[in-house]
Amino acid sequence: MMRSIEGQVAPEDPESIHEGTKAVIALKRYGTNEEVARLALFLASDEASYCSGGIHMIDGGYTAG
């Protein structure tokens, strides 16, 4: 998804968008499909039985600044 956005924002230089975006993410990389899936699996499992109404950010620290 991000590669598609990068190409749309800067078709002449999508790599510049990629590097700029990574620079503002605390972990300095994009998340993977597997990382998102692991959170979804956890929330759907019995291990999350006491979780209710939470907001779980999976953005590598992007929103933390």
Vertex 25 angle, CA 18 and 45, to 5°: 110
Q: pLDDT, tens digit, for every residue of 11-23?
A: 999 999 999 999 9
Rounded Cα distance, 37 and 34, in Å: 5
Q: pLDDT, tens digit, for every residue of 6-65?
A: 999 999 999 999 999 999 999 999 999 999 999 999 999 999 999 998 999 999 999 987
Band (pLDDT 50/70/90 cuts) for residue 1 is confident
Looking at residue 65, its pLDDT comes to 74
